[in-house]
Structure 1
Amino acid sequence: MPQFPKSPFLVPFDGSFRVKKAHNAPPKGAPDKPDAELRLAQCVDEIAHLQKKLYADNRHSVLLVFQAIDAAGKDGTIRAVLTGTNPAACQVQSFKSPSEEELDHDFLWRIARALPERGMIGVFNRSHYEEVLTVRVHPEFLERQRLPSMPPLPKLWKERYESIRDFEKHLARNGTVILKFWLNVSRKEQKKRLLARIDDASANWKFQPSDIDEREQWTKYMSGYEDILNETSRPWAPWYAIPADDKPFMRWAVADIVARTMKNMDIDYPKLSTGEVKKLKLMRSRLEKS
């Protein structure tokens, strides 16, 4: 496993994380908007360079998982962080309500099908964590899942956390580097962004009436996130709770963690053998004469 970077936003592995103590705004001394945008551009260049090595090395994959309440900025962050990468070497998957086919399998089945191949960067815009978040807030969704037995709900969530930890550890053992980001936007900032979607005609399409309904469940969602982060932030698949009220800072903070993680990975361009190098020299000579 790679050495994951130290960060004030790293969720500890001992279950001590508390949502109320997590920052929504950048900490003191954080870069201002121009500086954050400059640092983001530098990280984007580094990620693009490292992606080429990842693809050529073809032994590992990188999985970026994004979870957040509505209007926290997942789409914009994903776009900003990966803007310099080769689209052919990235796989972005957005998980919405499961289809009938997906409901005929266990809750991790559709996730496993969407995992990035070796050499690729995969992005999950929402993920398997919806099964212990949205489904926890709306347990009536379990009716469609046709589970063979229904334990008490607290036990069900514990079992799913265990399944997720085991699943992610299996992936890590087999070369998938997992980084998970919770974009922690405040209730006040979310309200501001939702109102902007209503007031801006070009953004009306982003607004969903269900956003207001879900906002009324804020306390339940925050409780769900606290449990998720405590139960599943582990050395092989850490969570980072990123302040999301300031978009330039948030995007740089994510890009910085991705860049530093990839820099610590054991990836490089394949080295040719002595015989292969000699063949290249012969081919070069033939090309020069042609």
Structure 2
Amino acid sequence: MDIKKYLVDCNKKVSLKDYATTEKDHFDEKEFLEEHLPKSIEKLKDLHWRLHAEEKKGIVVVLQAMDAAGKDEAISYIFSNLTAQGLTTASFQKPSETEMKHDYLWRIREGLPARGQIGILNRSHYEEVIAPRIHDDALKDEMYPEGMDKDEVWPMRYRQINDFEKHLSENGFKVIKFFFNMSKEEQRERLLERMKDPEKNWEFSFNDVKERRHWDQYQEVFEDMLSNTSTEFAPWYVLPADDEWYSRYIITEVMVDCLEKIDPQFPEISDEDREKLDEAIEELENEKN
């Protein structure tokens, strides 16, 4: 797979119409599900074990999308295949009263991984350059510098987010970001399925329909976000989210590529510990039943 096809180049003016919401020219479905995807998952599992054992680097995975785009399913399928000790997951919704008393990046730190871990942010700090632009009352006057016009807030926050992600990268934590590019019709079908199927009613929120009314505005905000925050140290990948399985495959391939560049290794035992290990092996082998 050519993962660069889905990469947002630095300083590129993004139009989501240039990115497909579905892929027509990929593998035969049976071959894809039984061969290519499992092989990619196995590579990811092996590399994740090495990352966890080495405990030198970490990876921050950002997932952003409209409702019903497949974020939760991607987490469940892909990352459920990885060792739980090497994973953290955090979900960010509307800021709490306590979170509002801090700077907008404060709450993100609790969800960041330690060295040897992959940290998944289901939504993220990018909520703070999305929701306030859709709902003007979400950005209070005290949340930006005195005398600054609201239109000046977003370039400032893009710069701050880029600096924050560069700081993470320079300190050993790679940042990879996935935007689930779903068509409006596909979202409609998925929401209706949740509403009509009693076993899926729990997944539906009336707020999903409310937010859908702002679809065009969301697309404009997403384009601006992608245009200003895809960097060499924290790139965005745009997924054809109408194809859920193929999107999951792209995520695994990007993760594998990132881990292969990190090239984590299992720690080697010291000569002193090797001697102790040999003694322990001998003790257990000579142990009477």
When normalised by structure 1's length, the TM-score is 0.93
Q: Kindly state the Cα deviation for residue 57 of structure 1 after the two structures are TM-superposed.
A: 0.4
Query: Does the aligned pair in 1 maintain the 2:8–2:230 contact within 8 Å?
Result: yes
CA RMSD of aligned residues (A): 1.7
Cα distance in 1 for residues equivalent to 2:141 and 2:76: 33
Q: Kindly state the Cα deviation for residue 73 of structure 1 after the two structures are TM-superposed.
A: 0.6
Query: 1:16 is matched with which residue?
Result: 13
Cα distance in 2 for residues equivalent to 1:145 and 1:131: 14
2:102 aligns with one of 100, 105, 109: 105
Query: Does the aligned pair in 1 maintain the 2:59–2:174 contact within 8 Å?
Result: yes
Describe the SS at the equivalent of 2:273: helix
Query: Does the aligned pair in 1 maintain the 2:87–2:118 contact within 8 Å?
Result: yes
Give CA deviations for 1:215-263 in whole Å, capped at 9, x if unaligned.
Answer: 1111111111111111111010110001011111111111111122212
Assess, with a 3 A threshold, how the Cα gap between structure 1 residues 249 and 50 changes in structure 2: closer, same or farther. same
2:208 aligned with 1:211, yes or no? Answer: yes
Q: Kindly state the Cα deviation for residue 145 of structure 1 after the two structures are TM-superposed.
A: 6.1
Cα distance in 2 for residues equivalent to 1:96 and 1:144: 21
2:173 aligned with 1:176, yes or no? Answer: yes
Query: 1:275 is matched with which residue?
Result: 272
Query: 1:73 is matched with which residue?
Result: 70
When normalised by structure 2's length, the TM-score is 0.93
1:260 aligns with one of 257, 260, 267: 257
Unaligned residue ranges in structure 1 (runs of 5+): none
Query: 2:240 is matched with which residue?
Result: 243
Cα distance in 2 for residues equivalent to 1:36 and 1:248: 9
Unaligned residue ranges in structure 2 (runs of 5+): none
2:24 aligned with 1:37, yes or no? Answer: no
Query: Does the aligned pair in 1 maintain the 2:186–2:242 contact within 8 Å?
Result: yes
Cα distance in 1 for residues equivalent to 2:51 and 2:169: 15
1:90 aligns with one of 83, 87, 112: 87
Cα distance in 1 for residues equivalent to 2:6 and 2:147: 36
Q: Kindly state the Cα deviation for residue 35 of structure 1 after the two structures are TM-superposed.
A: 2.9
Cα distance in 1 for residues equivalent to 2:147 and 2:110: 25
Which 10-residue stretch deviates more, 202-211 or 97-106?
A: 202-211
Cα distance in 1 for residues equivalent to 2:284 and 2:197: 59
Residue identity over aligned pairs, in percent, reads: 35
Q: Kindly state the Cα deviation for residue 6 of structure 1 after the two structures are TM-superposed.
A: 4.3
Query: 2:150 is matched with which residue?
Result: 153
Cα distance in 2 for residues equivalent to 1:130 and 1:91: 19
Cα distance in 2 for residues equivalent to 1:44 and 1:121: 15
Q: Kindly state the Cα deviation for residue 88 of structure 1 after the two structures are TM-superposed.
A: 2.4
Cα distance in 2 for residues equivalent to 1:88 and 1:177: 18
Query: Does the aligned pair in 1 maintain the 2:3–2:253 contact within 8 Å?
Result: no
Describe the SS at the equivalent of 2:115: coil
Assess, with a 3 A threshold, how the Cα gap between structure 1 residues 236 and 203 changes in structure 2: closer, same or farther. same
Amino acid at match of 1:215: R
Describe the SS at the equivalent of 2:40: helix
Which 10-residue stretch deviates more, 253-262 or 153-162?
A: 253-262
Amino acid at match of 2:49: K
Query: Which contiguous aligned blocks of 4+ residues in structure 1 show a shift greater than 6 angstroms?
Result: none
Describe the SS at the equivalent of 1:8: helix
Amino acid at match of 2:220: S
Assess, with a 3 A threshold, how the Cα gap between structure 1 residues 41 and 105 changes in structure 2: closer, same or farther. same
Describe the SS at the equivalent of 1:264: helix
Amino acid at match of 1:209: F
Amino acid at match of 1:199: K
